Amino acid sequence: MAVDVKIPSMGESITGGLLSTWAVKNGDNVKKGQAIFSFETDKVTSDGTAEIDGQITITVPAETEVTVGQVVATIAPGSSTSSPAPATASTPAAQPVAPKVVSAAAPKIASAPLVKTENFEASPAVRRIAAETGLNPNSIPGTGKAGRVTKGDMLAALDGQTPIVAVAPSAVSTVTAPVAEKAAAIEIPNREGRTTRKRMSPLRRKIAERLVQAKSETAMLTTFNEVNMAPIMELRKRHGEEFLKKYGIKLGFMSFFVKAAVQALKEVRTVNAQLDGDDILENNFYDIGVAVGTDKGLMVPVVRDCDQLSFAGIENAISDFGKRARDGKIQLPELQGGVFTISNGGIYGSMLSTPILNHPQAAIMGLHNIVERAVVEKGQIVIRPIMYLALSYDHRIIDGKEAVTFLVKVRQYIEEPQTLLFGA
């Protein structure tokens, strides 16, 4: 008996989403536990798996909005040795359309009336299109001044497949009879496919909704600072190899910034807060969101209790989240409950940005690329690896003094990383 393949439940708040892709084809033999489709919601992407071994019949195509519990395929027990049935859910391949070529010997072209254009002088662009396509400017209505035919009119006529009329030598001064004959055999340019329309995924729609919400419902402001990365770079150079051997993971920059942010949040408590109606909730825990870019959009998995984690613990958590986010394996609870977010645009080469709040959090810190810059130290110009920091914050509950103090604290901890190592 065939078994129904249904869209799985992913929590009470999720009622549907997008059946984004099928990992198998209609009629394929599948194995129990095999990933057969991807299901995108406004929060996470998850894979659907086969419950039994057998042959799958797909009933709902990819890129279709579906609801939780909806049947999208069936699996018949056993395997099939015959050729797979045609994919009823797939969109039929578009049949190739023969290009419309105007033959020089075509009767309509040969007998077409030669229309003169004595009432206006064709523009160079119009003459060029006429020469290349054989389209007579006098055969189409003009929208320019005094009824003049424009380049746009010519292109619109071609797109609309307006019948082509041969161009007389007197009609367009630069088109001779031989050119007109040659142009008559030229294929009309196909201007289809210049744009592609696709529906926003549920995740992308949710990201857009949250970003607009953050901009419209908060008094967002951004402050900046810069930090000398040389101390951390030197520390990583001295201890990086030993760290890798001991913990099986590289010592990156992000763990330092997470630790620095936690210490700064402890000292500037207003930044670790959020609004709840007319109340301000100050958080006494340190669950830090780390933004991860994926091909489906930005995701912010949360590293829990960062104040209690070692550098290795933070690096392992970030590495695991990054891989699973890109593979679509992040679970909904892992994206919820953060109190502060760090976004590293520097890995893409960003020099400076104003990150948007991860609502309902009150602050987000943006990291940027590291560039060698000339700075003054003790009256001397020296070269240092400098990173710009940005802190966007909700000015309704965080004052400028507190925001600037927070960023200065982060800078101090990064430039004196040994202070972060105690008790780590």
Q: pLDDT tens digits, residue range 359-396?
A: 899 999 999 999 999 999 999 999 999 999 999 999 99
Does any domain span residue 89?
A: no
**Which of 61, 77, 93 represents a domain boundary (last residue)?**
77
Count of beta carbons in the 10 Å neighbourhood of residue 410: 25
The enclosing H or E element of 186 equals none
Does any domain span residue 140?
A: yes
Does any domain span residue 88?
A: no
Q: pLDDT tens digits, residue range 185-215?
A: 455 555 667 888 877 777 778 778 888 888 8
Is residue 35 domain-shared with residue 116, that is, in the same domain?
A: no
Is residue 132 domain-shared with residue 246, that is, in the same domain?
A: no
Is residue 47 domain-shared with residue 139, that is, in the same domain?
A: no
Q: Are strands 3-6 and 71-77 parallel, antiparallel or unpaired?
A: antiparallel
Residues paired with 22 in a beta bridge: 37
Give catalytic status of residue 395 as yes or no: yes
- How many domains are there within the chain? 3
Q: pLDDT tens digits, residue range 100-149?
A: 444 444 334 333 333 344 445 677 777 777 877 778 888 788 877 667 78
Tokens linked to 106: 């075509």
Does any domain span residue 91?
A: no
Is residue 331 domain-shared with residue 402, that is, in the same domain?
A: yes
**Which of 158, 184, 210 represents a domain boundary (last residue)?**
184
Does any domain span residue 239?
A: yes
At 233, is the secondary structure helix, strand, or coil?
helix
Is residue 416 domain-shared with residue 281, that is, in the same domain?
A: yes
Tell me the whole-structure pTM to 2 decimals. Answer: 0.61
Mean pLDDT, the chain, as a whole number? 81
Q: pLDDT tens digits, residue range 302-314?
A: 999 999 999 999 9
DSSP 234-257: HHHHHHHHHHHHHHSS---SHHHH
CATH code: domain of residue 31: 2.40.50.100
What span, in angstroms and rounded, lies between the C-alpha atoms of 225 and 409? Answer: 11
Does any domain span residue 73?
A: yes
Look-up of token digits 């105007």 = 102
Does any domain span residue 92?
A: no
At 159, is the secondary structure helix, strand, or coil?
helix
Residues 6+ apart with CB under 8 A from 98: none
Tokens linked to 232: 């951390």
Residues paired with 30 in a beta bridge: 54
Give catalytic status of residue 399 as yes or no: yes
CATH code: domain of residue 351: 3.30.559.10
Distances 49 to 31, 52, 72, 75, 315 between C-alpha atoms, Å:
9, 9, 12, 11, 31
Q: Is the pLDDT of residue 401 over 80?
A: yes
Is residue 210 domain-shared with residue 315, that is, in the same domain?
A: yes
Is residue 276 domain-shared with residue 387, that is, in the same domain?
A: yes
Full residue range of the structural domain in which residue 173 is found: 107-184
Is residue 226 domain-shared with residue 339, that is, in the same domain?
A: yes
Cβ neighbourhood burial of 259 (10 Å; 0-12, 13-18, 19+): buried
Does any domain span residue 86?
A: no
What span, in angstroms and rounded, lies between the C-alpha atoms of 39 and 203? Answer: 11
Is residue 240 domain-shared with residue 285, that is, in the same domain?
A: yes
Q: What radius of gyration do the chain's Cα atoms show? A: 32
